[in-house]
A and B are shown apart, each in its own frame.
Chain A
Amino acid sequence: MKNFDYIKPSNLADAISALKEYENAFLFAGGTDLLVGMKNNFLKPQYIIDLKGISNIKSFEYQEGWHFGALTTIRDIEVSETLQQKMPFLCQAASSLGSIQIRNRATIGGNLCNASPAADIATMFLAMDSQIKIISIDNEKVVGLDKFFTGPNSTILNRGEVLTEIIVPKDAEQFKGVYIKFGPRKGMDIGIVNIAVLLDADFESGLCKRIRIALGAVAPTPIRARQAEGLLSGNALGPDSINKAAELASSETDPISDFRASAGYRKELVKTLVVRGINTILASNRNS
């Protein structure tokens, strides 16, 4: 690891001005990606700005939608009783990230800003139609998460900007959802394909009111399968329509072939997992 200076501001304003002031400064949240990158010399910051001294971005609350501070840990989401009641699928996605040691440190803001195409929590937040708040020294803006990622490990964030909050619209609670990560192991895996499905349906009749499908690790960024969503929204959910949507979702992806899996296999997995995701939600809600 290269030498760096460590700065720990106690409020957001100080963090932002530090970010502006210092060249080659990196924001430090949970550190679970940042420190690994620094140890491998992929990342060589001269300054580390630790955000953990800023108290008001570490928790979440409901206020016309859910507002999650960027430094909320993955573990806080995983074990939150409120969230387990309101949006259990978010807890499920949190639960599948890394290990307990990682989840205790990793933050949602960090997970988003690291912008891994396979990021677990990012894929789920994308399905939830989330927005993010970005603050800089002279500006504050809210943008859709679907506009945030620009490629593997890259986002729209400019120098001097900080992602401070993730906002989940209030209607997210109306959905039933599921998160599936597929990898060769059961524990501690990164997904070959990740999928988040949110479904608002009349489970008696099988009518799909709204559906959102987000996919991870099958494109340079986590993506939404908008065409598949469009095919199903407002229509009946039957084996045929679900299969067609799965085919469509697969065609919307642009995966790479690497040593983890081939592009063709990832595309096949998308088909399987879209069907499985929808059916899992249907099966667990039909009787309830």
Chain B
Amino acid sequence: MEQHSAVGKRIPQRDAVDKVKGSAIFTNDIKLKGMLYCKILRSPLPHSRIINIDVSKAEKLIGVKAVLTYKDTPQVKFSISPTWADKLPLESEKARYIGDEIAAVAAVDEDTAQEALDLIQVDFEELPGVYDPVEAMKPGAPVIHDSVENNISKAIHMECGNIEEGFASGDLILEDTFSTQAQSHCSLETHCCVAICEPNDEIKIWVNTQAPHALRQKLSYALNIDASKIHVITPYLGGGFGSKIDLEPAQAICILLSKKSGRPVRISNTRKDQFISTRIRHPTISELKFGVKRDGTIVAKQARVVMDNGAYNSHGPAVLLYNNVMFSSLYRVENIKYEGYLVYTNKNWGGACRGYGDPQATFAQESMMDMIAERLNMDPIDLRLKNANNPNEITANKVRITSCGLRECLTQAKEASNWAEKKETKSKYRGLGIASMIYTGGGSIGSGFNYSGATMQINADGTIHLSVGAVDIGQGSNTILTQMAADVLAVDPEAIRLTTADTDTTLPCMGTFGSRVTFCAGSAVFQATNEVKNMLLEEASEILEANMEDLEMKDKEIFVKGSLGVSVTFSELASRAHYKRKKTLIGHGYYNGPEVSDDFDPTSYVGYPSPAMVFATHIAEVEIDPGTGKVDVINFVAAHDLGRAINPLLVEGQIEGAVAQGIGWALTEDLKFENGKIVNPNFHDYKILTIKDVPKITSILVETIDPNGPFGAKGIGECAMVPTAPAIVNAIYDAIGVRIKDLPATPEKIFDGLKKI
């Protein structure tokens, strides 16, 4: 058994002390001299043509320093990539949802900025809106983006094997439709940025982004400014869950206002702004058809998915691809057909949201699996074991699986939940439900990029300095990346100084999303630290006149094995390197993988190139109140194949938090629209779980030691909410025989279901 000094240890977050003292500086805590405050005028209509914008009165208001409309902004549309570009920082011709950016003001305080907004006169010509993606696809529906036919932003048509033959070979065909609702990320910290435009046109922006380096590129593109002139800094960040990956119109606006006013400008979303203008989880309608043999073998599966894009693309096209990939690659099925449509509507736009299209796919598929198990009179776990993915397997849609602990997840979750016994002694209104999932554990290079850089430097005084472009959004990457580095150098993780999330001082990293930081940034850190380790050992072997293999490191010293007292310190080695040999001790690490295979199809993501896939099984135990339909989740087991837990304490934190978010999505969270308008844009009526609502969650960490992951680790951030909702919905069915096919499973739906039995 390998010995690890830091990896695998339950170490509290290295930033936690700053955070408990209240001394951690978040973006909204930054106040610069002469700073102005920005407010944005948003469209009150779901769909309209902008006829005229008159800002003259606003400009005259005392305290207003700059007013911005589309006339002041470059007319470059942006999105996750130029291919999908459809959004301007301030719209010029049309407003496409309630909340669309029309104009902005920078003033000496927020009240003045708000007052100025009221003085801006906008003439809109109201256009008919469309809010249902199925309606929006029909011929004759209102056109939201001029060039987009039937409002279909992206369509996927994929077939693997032979779907007709597949269905023909089955003994049982099951078909059903499942739908999911919009979810809001609800990070406790809202979006915020502070920008300053220097006289030499260099821009500095403090911003709570999950991807500072990628944001720099996007700002450069959208604002037509050389990337080298943009400096993005991310202070402490108060939660993201996918909401802080995009280039936000507000960020571009903030920079342009700073440029126009010559002063620093801050924009900070209110909670309502956050609900009505930032991304949401895409609602979906999934029509599934499964063919199975009597023994439980799935011989064919088919999905037709309509995904509600909202008014703009953001990550939508990629989310639809992930919906396909994850649907298609869970379980060994030879014949698969997937048809997916990403459809514009006049509503808030979807974006990246923890799980990225997978929760929607998994809710549908894992509900269907339960329905199949029932029809076959088979234990739902056995059905899943029968079809489970295996290590070192290539799926029908050409996804290359390396490590795979799905079977272990299934069996260990079964045991921990006391499944067999509880099924035997089932009491009325109580039920157990299971669901599994597949997801990426290291992002993907499908877009062409999956990069993370790191540098590791030993200074002349012996201090160890790690720099990474990755940003800790609360999940604890700062802690686990230093644990990895500490392990390589056999030092205490606290001995490592860390710089992160600054585009001027760190190597590029795509960002914190796609459950990629542990794998990708971890790989870069591992490489950089090993490079420095070798430099140290080389230096030491010269000084100590010993072979490198005979050297050992501990507490910033290098010893000759077996020769007590013969040692040299990091400081001595670094001093010698610096001053005598005029050489720095800097190691570089850079990850950008995996290699893309020839069979990769970027339009459908057949051959989806992920460095490693992760697997999980959740088992929920629920109790239903038959008089009201209310669900009480009383027990929850979450078994996760994560390769290796670099820090089990933080891994549990990821699982517990994600499961809570998953229970919320399953039961209480529903961003509701009436004619394109969100009717519950507050924590009063958009119900994330409170401390009273979350059950005890038992986490099981299945360590499959991935062959390519740093220390065998894979990602955990997103996947832990993916199978939660179907596990709960399956448990509800087990308890009372009511099958909820459209989320959330509200008391009212369950109550109605009970009446129909």
Is A in direct contact with B (CB under 8 Å) within the complex? yes
Minimum CB–CB distance from B633 to chain A (whole Å) comes to 11
- Asked if residues A184 and B668 are in contact (CB atoms below 8 Å), the reply is yes
The bracket for how many chain B residues form the interface is: 20 to 34
Q: Which of B680, B684, B751 contacts A265 (CB 8 A)?
A: B751
Contact B672 A261 (CB under 8 A): no
Q: B677-702, CB under 8 A of A: which get 1 and which 0?
A: 00110001101011111000000000
B689 touches A185 (CB 8 A): yes
Q: Once bound together, how far apart are the Cα atoms of A272 and B630, in whole Å? A: 12
Q: Which residues of B contact A273 (CB under 8 A)?
A: 627-628
Q: A185 and B693: CB pair below 8 A?
A: yes
Say yes or no for B391: interface residue by CB 8 A criterion. no
Decide: A269 and B687 in contact? CB cutoff 8 A: no
* Interface-side segment among A74-82, A124-132, A186-194, A231-239: A186-194
Interface size on A (CB < 8 Å)? 21
B627 touching A186, Cβ below 8 Å: no
Kindly state whether residue B746 has any CB partner on chain A within 8 Å.
yes
Is B461 in contact with chain A by the CB < 8 A criterion?
no
B690 close to A188 (CB less than 8 A): yes
Q: Is A55's beta carbon under 8 Å from chain B?
A: no
Residue of B nearest to A260 (CB): B685
Which of chain A's residues has its CB closest to B632's CB?
Answer: A186
User: Given the known A-B contacts A188-B690, A260-B685, are A268 and B751 also in contact in the complex, defined by CB atoms under 8 Å?
Assistant: yes
User: A60 in the interface, Cβ–Cβ < 8 Å?
Assistant: no
Q: Is the CB of B685 within 8 A of A184?
A: no
What is the CA–CA distance of A102 and B680 in the complex, to the nearest angstrom? 20
A182–B687 touching, CB < 8 Å: no
Would you call B628 and A259 a contact (CB within 8 A)? no
B690, A259: Cβ atoms under 8 Å? no
Q: How far is the CB of A78 from chain B (nearest CB, A)?
A: 16
Tell whether, in the assembled complex, residue A184 and residue B684 are in contact, meaning their CB atoms are under 8 Å apart: no
How close is B132's CB to chain A, nearest CB, in angstroms?
Answer: 17
CB of A259 within 8 A of CB of B672, answer: yes
Closest chain A residue to B752, Cβ basis:
A265
Task: Check A105 for interface membership: any CB of B closer than 8 A.
Answer: no
If A184-B667, A185-B668, A260-B685 touch, does A265 touch B693 (CB 8 Å cutoff)?
A: no
- Answer yes or no: B175 CB below 8 A from chain A CBs: no
CA distance A42 to B132 in the complex (A): 30
Query: Using Cβ atoms and an 8 Å threshold, which residues of chain B touch A259?
Result: 672, 674, 679-680, 685
Partner of B687, one of A185, A261, A265, A275: A185
Inter-subunit contact B748/A276 (CB<8 Å)? no
B594 within 8 A of A: no
Determine whether the beta carbon of A261 is less than 8 Å from that of B748. Answer: yes
Please name all residues of chain B whose beta carbon is closer than 8 Å to the beta carbon of A182 when the two chains form the complex: 628, 630
Residues of chain B in range 664-678 having any CB-CB distance to chain A below 8 Å? 667-668, 672, 674
Chain B nearest CB from A280 CB (Å) reads: 12
B44 to chain A, nearest CB (A): 14
Determine whether the beta carbon of B672 is less than 8 Å from that of A185.
Answer: no
Which residues of the partner chain A approach B672 to less than 8 Å between Cβ atoms? 259
Task: Report A-chain residues with C-beta under 8 Å of the C-beta of B238.
Answer: none
Pick the contact of B692 from A1, A186, A190 — CB < 8 Å? Answer: A186
B691, A184: Cβ atoms closer than 8 Å: no
In whole angstroms, what is the CA distance A265 to B747 when docked? 9
What chain A residues lie within 8 Å of B630 (beta carbons)?
182, 184
Tell me, in angstroms, the Cα distance from A186 to B664 when the chains sit together. Answer: 12
| Given known A187-B693, A272-B628, contact A265–B674 (CB-CB < 8 A) | no
Name the one of A1, A187, A268 contacting B691, with C-beta atoms under 8 angstroms: A187
Q: Give chain A nearest CB distance to B699 CB in angstroms.
A: 22
Which residues does chain A contribute within 8 Å of B748, judged by CB atoms?
A: 261-262, 265
In the complex, residue of chain B having the shortest beta-carbon distance to the beta carbon of A182? B628
What are 12 A-B contacts with C-beta separation under 8 Å? A184-B687, A184-B746, A185-B668, A185-B687, A186-B690, A186-B693, A189-B687, A259-B679, A265-B748, A265-B752, A268-B751, A276-B627
* 4 smallest beta-carbon distances between A and B, as pairs: A187-B690, A187-B692, A272-B627, A186-B692
